[in-house]
Structure 1
Amino acid sequence: MPVQSKWQAWFAAGVWIIVIAISLLCAVWGCMALLAQAPQRYNIAAALALVWGFAWLILFGYGALQQRVLPIFAGGLALMLGLLVWWETIDPQSERAWAADVAQLVAIETDKHQPDVVHLRNVRNFVWRSDTAFTPRWEARSYDLSQLESVDVALSYWMGPAIAHTLVSFGFADGQHVVFSIEIRKEQHEQFDALAGFFKQYEMALVAADERDILAVRTNVRGEQVHLYRVNMAQDSMRELFMAYARQASQLAFAPRFYNTLTANCTTIVWQLARRIGQELPTDWRLLASGYLPEYLRDVGALASMQPLELQRAQGHITQRAQTWQPPAHGTDAEISADFSRHIRQGM
């Protein structure tokens, strides 16, 4: 075979492989999108997914018979354009039958006469007895940013070493802490599914909560392994990050958005907020495999401690301390919360 013909054959084979691979990805993505978002009644979603898959099979068959790539390319492009037009009509909603723990969205208020004081409405402070038995409490709290002393990243491991939920806790001089957490705003009948998170299945919620609520429900109720890491930040940067979270919460209240397992999750949003306030944080695969976020923070110099990471990991492992904490017999609710926050940090 002449050299030119050999190269032409290889090129043609390469084009076929690329077109088929892209087509398969589009076919699978479209099938899952239809199953996730098309109407479920009367099995409409399943029927549309079958029609979608059958249309791609026809394209593949016709292209193979004609030994031409163009029919697959042109037909697939038409199918995808039609699907994407429909996909863009699916908008996030603010009014649904929300689950109790994300029923309210945190809202921010400021006072020009007290520029350092931020008022948050709908701070969550539930008393959890189990995942389904709890006393709901939504509170209005005020925070003096001039008294902001620390920022801790909490990682809650619930599915192996690579997957963790990321929370950020702000500590104040009076012992109070408020935690911000990006979560799915699930409906009453929903449970989190990472795969569904790719397909506009969940709106996004930004929860502001007391540590005694949002950390203890993970350690004491769900049995998750939670680690705390102190972040190295100047006080001005702490304030700016706090306000970035608060502003993000206000935006979600007026302009809901979808949670996305890959691009808009609990870790990538933290990174985006940090970049927004001028923190130079490089992109890295560990922002997606959030269980390895401590290694990323160490490598970019964001951890406050210079101790070996394994020692920080052990000292910041708060699950057992949270489970053994006993609330004091007397004290205000704020004092009891502060006591919990001190107890889980013993040894850090």
Structure 2
Amino acid sequence: MRRRIGAIVGLVLAGLVMAGATAWGALVLYYLGAGSAGVRTAAAWSFAAVGLAALIALFVRRTRRLAGVGFAMAFVPVLVVWGGATPSNDRDWQPEVAVLPYATLDGDRVTVHNIRNFDYRTETDFTPAYYDRTFDLRRLDRVDLVASYWMGPAIAHLFVTFGFGDDHLAISIEVRKDRTRPYATLPGLFRQYELVYVVADERDAIRVRTNYRKDPPEDVYLFRVTGPITNGRRVFLDYMREINELREHPRFYNTLTTNCTTMILTHTAVNPGHVPYSWKVLLSGYAPEYAYERGRLDRSLPFEELKRRSHINAAARAADQAPDFSRRIRAGFP
């Protein structure tokens, strides 16, 4: 009896795996397959039909082995298509992500090239501008976590800023969108977009979110990260390494595994005792609370009070184009 129950459970699990692989494979063929949309749609539906037939055959004793072998053979082209997708730095990029940053290192001095500092009139009307600046790692004295919310508490865009005295450098990990494909969540799982590190002046990266984005508006919070500053320096250098790597070897963005929040966590792994993965990283809006729970934010206040004090929209609007924008949005902060 126990053996029979085990066989049934195993069969059900195999069926669930096959169903999931069928759905994933059909979407791979639809998004990554060759040919027109009609050809890709036909390929996706054909694979789904094969998967459904194999799933039915799996539950018939005399066809079970044939179902497994047949599905495995049908799945090989899916893997070929998936493996054949290659990221590129050569597309007609949207202007916000058209220019890649890079860094040159000379001991403790790091020169960051192509720091974005657009002059915005509206979110979509701006004059592109970039500059280079040299930072002394010995002057790095703070790291801040920025969280921008626009669709409820569960979803936010997170990025970090590094403070060198009065100079602050924002680094936002984003989808590198071209002019032909707006971002959507589901395609983001299927190698449709490249990854980009937007290295920007805070008057760009923060102000565009607080002062210019209206549809929908964004609520922006600035949290100071606690911990040894040596950890911050290691993380900064790891960011620079990845930025230079992406310039030579582009990689894909992934909605779940390679996004703004998971990559921040990846960079912190260079430090001992780094924060482990959590579902609060997947639901990025809860990531600041998770950082608070792990002791990476100021715990002298309850989190809700800390979050209330960390809301910077009003201060950013008041500072606007002021040259001391970074100092003014931190007024009253520790």
Same fold by TM-score, threshold 0.5 exceeded? yes
Residue type of the alignment partner of 1:230:
R
1:268 aligns with 2:268: no
- Equivalent residue, structure 2, for 1:237: 231
Report 1:199-210 matches (<5 A). Answer: 199-210=190-201
Q: What displacement does 1:283 show?
A: 2.2
Distance (whole Å) between structure 1 residues aligned to residue 35 and residue 169 of structure 2: 40
- Equivalent residue, structure 1, for 2:105: 110
Q: Which range moves more in the overlay, 186-195 or 61-70? A: 61-70
* 1:43 aligned to which of 9, 23, 38: 38
1:85 aligns with 2:105: no
Q: What displacement does 1:14 show?
A: 2.3
Q: What displacement does 1:109 show?
A: 0.9
* 1:259 aligned to which of 243, 253, 259: 253
3-state DSSP of counterpart to 1:191: coil
Tell me, yes or no, if the aligned pair for 1:315 and 1:347 is still in contact at 8 Å. no
Structure-2 change in CA distance of 1:127 and 1:40 (3 Å): farther
1:293 aligns with 2:284: no
Render the CA deviation track for 1:71-90: whole Å, top value 9, x for unaligned.
Answer: 32222222223311221111
3-state DSSP of counterpart to 2:108: strand
Percent identity, please: 35
Structure-2 change in CA distance of 1:195 and 1:303 (3 Å): same
Larger Cα-atom Rg: 1
- Equivalent residue, structure 1, for 2:181: 190
3-state DSSP of counterpart to 1:82: helix
Q: Which range moves more in the overlay, 23-32 or 34-43? A: 34-43
Distance (whole Å) between structure 2 residues aligned to residue 344 and residue 70 of structure 1: 65
Residue type of the alignment partner of 2:182:
Q
Tell me, yes or no, if the aligned pair for 2:120 and 2:127 is still in contact at 8 Å. yes
Tell me, yes or no, if the aligned pair for 2:292 and 2:298 is still in contact at 8 Å. no
1:221 aligns with 2:194: no
Render the CA deviation track for 1:169-194: whole Å, top value 9, x for unaligned.
Answer: 11121x22110111111111222212
- Equivalent residue, structure 1, for 2:70: 75
3-state DSSP of counterpart to 1:180: strand
Q: What displacement does 1:58 show?
A: 2.8
> Cα RMSD between the aligned structures?
1.9
Render the CA deviation track for 1:19-69: whole Å, top value 9, x for unaligned.
Answer: 221111111111111121123526221111111112123323444566643
1:15 aligns with 2:7: no
- Can you give the 5+ residue segments of structure 1 that lack an aligned partner in the other structure? 329-335
Distance (whole Å) between structure 2 residues aligned to residue 277 and residue 254 of structure 1: 25
Tell me, yes or no, if the aligned pair for 1:153 and 1:167 is still in contact at 8 Å. yes
Distance (whole Å) between structure 2 residues aligned to residue 271 and residue 279 of structure 1: 12
- Equivalent residue, structure 1, for 2:149: 157
Distance (whole Å) between structure 1 residues aligned to residue 3 and residue 303 of structure 2: 54
